[in-house]
Amino acid sequence: MRYSGFRVLREGLTGNKGWKAAWREPDPKPEYDIIIIGAGGHGLATAYYLSKEFGMRNIAVLEKGWLGGGNIGRNTTIIRSNYLLPGNEPFYEMSMKLWENLEQDTNYNSMVSQRSILNLIHTDGQRDAFVRRANAMFLAGADAELADEAQLRRELPFLNFDNARFPIKGGLYQRRGGTARHDAVAWGYARGADSRGVDIIQNCEVTGIDIENGRVRGVQTVRGPIRANKVAMCVAGSSGRVAAMAGMRLPIESHVLQAFVSEGLKPVLPGVITFGAGHFYVSQSDKGGLVFGGDLDGYNSYAQRGNLPVVEDVVEGGMALMPMIGRARLLRSWGGVMDMSMDGSPFIDKTETEGLYFNGGWCYGGFKATPASGFCYAHLLAKGESHPVAREMRLDRFKLGHLIDEKGMGNQPNLH
């Protein structure tokens, strides 16, 4: 069924009896060509592009809980392509271009809103670094704009310029950055994949990976064994646990990241604002809530909930940047499990087991990557070789010494 304004009108006039479920609830078949573990944003996008771009349909996406219940439904919805390094920037710019056409492509309202993202500058050294980053963005075909303090004073008068803990000297804008409705992204990809024949199987936890003579043969699940000659891990915060089923140890730690939303307010924030010095970032949802977050909780965990010291830390960051936020009431907070890699960059690669593939290490930034991650993972699964923009996202890059360390922080996940 195609969604359109005309369809809404017609259904409205005929008692809304014609709507169909957006995807089926199939039982697992005994065998598929490809099994994708994890129905988060990346797993569903992979299934979508496999079926749409590469004509592969005999695919199952196995999800231990409900579709979209992981980080795809817990993030702060920011999309951008403002990276520095050649291993990252062209990939994220490809993602941004896919975002720009996502709703037409999937025929689903994902509320992609290019309302801009601004990274604040507090020191001369930071300005130099951001100018360099802007040039790298131009080279990859992205947009960037440097703003001085006077411009920001005009555009964002509520920021604490005069009495700030860290003086605001300017900022780096990406006007094409912004937000998208996170769970609608999962639903749109799920509907598109399902309509092309992909089986999305919820409440089907993978409990083991079957390997014979160095080759993957399928998976064990709570609903029985399922065979496949290609198995694609795509489980974000559970990467370490699922890879361990295949005897792999990953350069990834799992950490909790929290986010917060205030009561609904009248429009006050024009776009996304990030405050690196205090680690606080904020945007305003279409419902009016201020959506914000900051640092990781700071220790390894698989719990999808956070702790109070970080609540205090994030709110302090908000108060330092825009004291008016102290007047808003906090509505909700929640947490998700982040797959923090040792250089802050992701992996889309084959593993040493034939037929077994890995996608993970997305850290705080995997939502914006969802379209390109799905496309490049589908490319790898279908063609057996990396997509050019994901070529450096290799699992053996630590062994080879070709890290993709955007911030030059080394192997300390909480600093990326």
Ligand X SMILES: Cc1cc2nc3c(=O)[nH]c(=O)nc-3n(C[C@H](O)[C@H](O)[C@H](O)COP(=O)(O)OP(=O)(O)OC[C@H]3O[C@@H](n4cnc5c(N)ncnc54)[C@H](O)[C@@H]3O)c2cc1C
Q: Binding residues for ligand X, per CB under 6 A?
A: 37-43, 62-65, 69-72, 74-78, 205-206, 234-238, 242, 257-259, 293, 336, 338, 362, 364-368
Nearer to ligand X, 145 or 205 (CB): 205
Contact 118, 171 (CB under 8 A): yes
CB of 338 to ligand X, least distance (A): 6
Q: Least distance from C-beta 374 to ligand X, angstroms?
A: 9
Contact 10, 18 (CB under 8 A): yes
Dihedrals phi, psi of 103, to nearest 5 degrees: -65, -40
Q: Which is nearer to ligand X, 42 or 133 (CB)?
A: 42
Shortest Cβ 44–ligand X spacing (Å): 8
Name which of 44 and 56 has its Cβ closer to ligand X: 44
Cβ 28 to ligand X, closest distance in Å?
12
Q: Closest distance between ligand X and the C-beta of residue 147, in Å?
A: 21
CB-CB contact of 28 with 221 (8 Å): yes
- Minimal distance in Å, beta carbon 10 to ligand X? 34
Is the Cβ of residue 137 or residue 234 nearer to ligand X in the bound state?
234
Is the separation of the CB atoms in 316 and 160 below 8 Å? no
Closest by CA position to 66, among listed 182, 186, 180: 186
* Measured distance CA(251)–CA(344) in Å, rounded: 10
CB of 150 to ligand X, least distance (A): 29
Tell me whether residue 188 or residue 336 sits nearer to ligand X (CB atom). 336
Q: How far is the CB of 354 from ligand X (least distance, A)?
A: 21
Nearer to ligand X, 236 or 403 (CB): 236
Q: Which two tokens stand for residue 170?
A: 């300017």
108 vs 164, which CB is nearer to ligand X?
108
Select the residue whose beta carbon is closest to ligand X and give its number: 40
Smallest distance from ligand X to CB 176, Å: 14
In whole angstroms, give the CA distance from residue 293 to residue 393. Answer: 27
CA distance 65 to 236: 14
- Cα-to-chain-centroid distance, residue 362: 7
| Minimum gap (Å) between residue 205 Cβ and ligand X | 4
Question: Based on CB atoms, which residue is closest to ligand X, 44 or 164?
Answer: 44
Looking at the Cβ atoms of 218 and 366, the one nearer to ligand X is 366
Q: Which is nearer to ligand X, 123 or 203 (CB)?
A: 203
